[in-house]
Amino acid sequence: MRTLRPYLPVLVLGVLLALAPLFVTSNVVLNFLVFTLTVALAAQGWNLLGGFGGQFSFGHAAFFGTGAYASAIWQMQLGFDAWTGFVAGTLAGALAGLVIGFLSFRAGLRGSYFALVTLAFAEVFRVLANSSEVTGGAAGLLLPLKIGAENLQFADRATFLGFVVALVIVVLLLVQWIRGSRFGAQLVALRENEEAARALGVDVLVVKLKAICLSGAITAAAGVLYLQYFLFIDSGIAYGTWISVEVLLAAIVGGLGTVLGPVVGALALHGVGELAKSLAGGLPGIDLAVYGAVLVVAVAFLPGGLVGIVRRRDRPRPVRDAAPVEGEA
């Protein structure tokens, strides 16, 4: 029982999310949940590298786009099916992570230098996708509408949401497991003090590469979900700065380096925005204004993110100390 206890919050959130497709019938809400959880999944990828490992990336669009494009090319140019396309896209994200990680970590890039180099990679990928024939150039790639489970296109949005929720739960469990594992401890160690971790025998390069590969794969899976849901990508969507910013904000607002943070952050940011939109009626841009306001408040007053509020109430101790032991027995 003790070993299962850290998984309890994940399981509770997982059950709540899993019940959503059963009780929600409005396609407006289902659509909102699909998109928000896709962002949350991508944010979870970012959180693994940035939150746990302390390697802040400003260019996670590189993985999101690579996953989406790899799956689209796999299906449209190579003629394979969407399910293997999902695997191919996820693996392509891991590969992109390996390449970007190897080039930047081996060169010893850290902190803002690493952040900038990831931003540059995403931009290079965007320009390449915009000009290459295989990615459809500026016209992008349009996946044919063929509704059927075999094509990973579902007639109703609830089924697609079920698929997204399943993926989010798997990733949450994976991240929770990593937290408690040796690899997780090594990640936190190099976030806190890289030199000290190295002195203690942690192979810093290998740990960082493992983290960026996993992070890339998770974010790429979100990219494939985007593709399968909207059936259209172009360079601006797949490699645009919007997704790099979205994932970063969801993780920061939810709680940096926490398992539930990215999901809570994405739901809170998008939920409040949508709520403001529906309450304000025809006032254009009100949701974006509220989105910004929530962000400012979260950054100014919630250093531990939204998850940090609950933890602070549970345990009266500094957030910095609490972060690495969230969910622990």
Partner 1 sequence: MSIFKQTISRRTVLGGGAALGASLAMPGVLRAETPKTIKIGILQPVTGNLAQDGELGRTGAEHAIKFINDNGGIASMDGAKLEMVFGDARSTPEGGTAEVERMKSEGVVGIVGGFASPICLASSQAAARYDLPYIVDVGVSDKIVQRDLKNTFRFGPGFGTCSETAIANLVKLNEAAGNPAKTVVLVHEDGLFGSGLAKLMATELPKHGFEILETIAHPTPARDMSNVALRIRSLKPDLIIPSSYYGETVLLMRTLQQQRVRPMGYYSVLNGAASNMRFVKEFPEAADHVMDCNHWHDPRKEEAEALKKSVEDAGGLWAYNIPLNYSCVKLLADAIDRAKSTEPDAVNEALAASTFEKHVMPYGPTKFEGGQNTGAAPVSLQVQDNAIKVIYPEDFADAKPVFPING
Q: Applying CB under 8 A, which part among 31-39, 189-197, 213-221, 304-312 lies near partner 1? A: 31-39
8 Å CB contact between 13 and 176 = no
Instruction: Using the minimum distance from each CB to partner 1, give the nearer residue, 3 or 26.
Output: 26
Q: Applying CB under 8 A, which part among 97-105, 136-144, 165-173, 195-203 lies near partner 1? A: 136-144
Alpha helices by DSSP H, 181-285 = 182-192, 194-199, 204-230, 235-238, 241-254, 261-280
8 Å CB contact between 62 and 239 = yes
Min CB(130)–partner 1 separation in Å: 6
Instruction: Using the minimum distance from each CB to partner 1, give the nearer residue, 205 or 231.
Output: 231
Would you give the DSSP letter of residue 49? Answer: I
Token output for 170: 């798997």
Site string for partner 1, 88-127 (x = CB under 8 A): ---------------------------------------x
Structure-token match 């590469």, residue found: 209
Site for partner 1 in 137-156 (CB under 8 A): 137-140, 142, 144-145, 155
Per-position b or e across 10-40, b if 16+ CB within 10 A of its CB: beebbeebbebbeebeeeeebebbbbbbbbb
Site string for partner 1, 210-239 (x = CB under 8 A): --------------------xxx-x-xx--
Instruction: Using the minimum distance from each CB to partner 1, give the nearer residue, 84 or 131.
Output: 131
Site string for partner 1, 267-306 (x = CB under 8 A): ---------------x-xx--x------------------
Q: Which of 28, 103, 200, 206 binds partner 1 (CB under 8 A)?
A: 28
Instruction: For residue 141, give the H/E element and its range.
Output: strand 141-142
Min CB(227)–partner 1 separation in Å: 11
- What angle do helix axes 204-230 and 82-106 make, rounded to 10 degrees? 150
Q: How far apart are CA 61 and CA 53, in angstroms?
A: 18
Beta bridge partners of 233: 141
Interacting residue ranges for partner 1, rule: CB under 8 A:
26-28, 30-32, 35, 127, 130-131, 137-140, 142, 144-145, 155, 157, 230-232, 234, 236-237, 242, 282, 284-285, 288
